[in-house]
Amino acid sequence: MRKMLLAALMLLTLPLAAKDKAKKTSGNPILPEFHADPEVLFSNQTGKFYIYSTTDGAAGWGGYYFTVFSSPDLVNWTHEGIMLNLNTDVAWASGNAWAPCIEEVKQKDGTYKYYFYFSGHDTKRNRKSIGVAVADTPTGPFKDLGHPIVYDLPEGVRGGQQIDVDVFTDPVSGKHYLYWGNGYMAGAELNDDMVSLKPGTTTVMTPKGGTLQDYAFREGAYVFYRNGKYYFHWSVDDTGSPNYHVAYGTSTSPLGKIEVAKDPIVLIQNPGKDIYGPAHNSVLQIPGRDEWYIVYHRIHKGYLFPQRMDPGFHRQVCIDRMYFNEDGTIRRVIPTQEGVAPVKKVKRAK
């Protein structure tokens, strides 16, 4: 009887111990099931963090809807539901809901608007295009514009896809920019309406050179600003490759020439810890602090090529800290299984 009571007590305490342990760090992956191409947002409206992503696990990257997860501290995440379904909410697209991004924009009356950019299969043109949906809260409901805003290759570009969109607000000028491209990288200034490109501003910005071992551009551009420099991240190699990784460069302008870093790799696989293909990232700065995080996806170790013939669409979202050297270069991120500790209280912008 005593042994039975001890066993029962142990069973009762196990969930509590596991829960307490989970609160110390986020663990990686941070989201359940399969997700990829994560976009992270801190909302000044709610004081919470949000992640939007490609819903993964469908053959041929066939996901057709986007979900949103929220967190008060980057450790405990809540599924907030489907926030945009291409099959029911987007008249021009039939599926392939990929690689979104989002921007929170404060309006003149003090309220906020959320502009959600995404790629989908354009049924009219039979190719991938980029659209935008708008909401009053980070979780929606989102209303699609009704037509894509990027659907043609930029002038001079011979091949590639209009996918992997990123949006960036320049803290220096206050202007908004959109970036996109697979096989090439393009950027353009957005009009004040946030749902159209300013004519004549589209610029091909593809970093030149490199190899699959260092910085050859493939896709997944992400832009942020720190201490007078514009940082550009991008993904190298194929999304199904264990070698899929993040490289970077800097510029003096949001659309300026990118200077590839001398040590360009930001994040790369660590087979010793079963971490493969960590790339297609977004970056989070805690408002008011020089505290930075990188949110990215990695390949589930059970779905690696060539062991599996369906690589590239069983990916998991992860988070780790990102640090800078005194000269502004990025220290190489060490991907972990532990993730990050709860972020301290964040002060919202007024």
For residue 94, the SS3 value is: coil
Exposure string of 223-251, with b = 16+ CB inside 10 Å and e = fewer, is bbebeeebbbbbbbbbbbbbebbbbbbbb
Closest CA to 54 of 88, 113, 95: 95
Closest CA to 272 of 242, 292, 251, 293: 242
Whether residue 103 lies in the annotated active site: no
Residues with Cβ within 8 Å of 2's Cβ and at least 6 positions away in sequence, in order, are: none
- Could you identify the residue written with the tokens 């941070």? 30
* Token reading at 158: 């011979």
From 56, 104, 164, 219, active-site residue: 219
> What span, in angstroms and rounded, lies between the C-alpha atoms of 60 and 191?
34
Exposure string of 139-150, with b = 16+ CB inside 10 Å and e = fewer, is bbebebbeebbb
> What span, in angstroms and rounded, lies between the C-alpha atoms of 257 and 206?
9
From 37, 89, 144, 189, active-site residue: 37
Whether residue 122 lies in the annotated active site: no
Overall size of the chain counted in residues: 350
Q: Could you tell me if 219 and 204 are in contact, meaning their C-beta atoms sit under 8 angstroms apart?
A: no
* Token reading at 112: 């906020």
| Residues identified as active-site | 37, 219
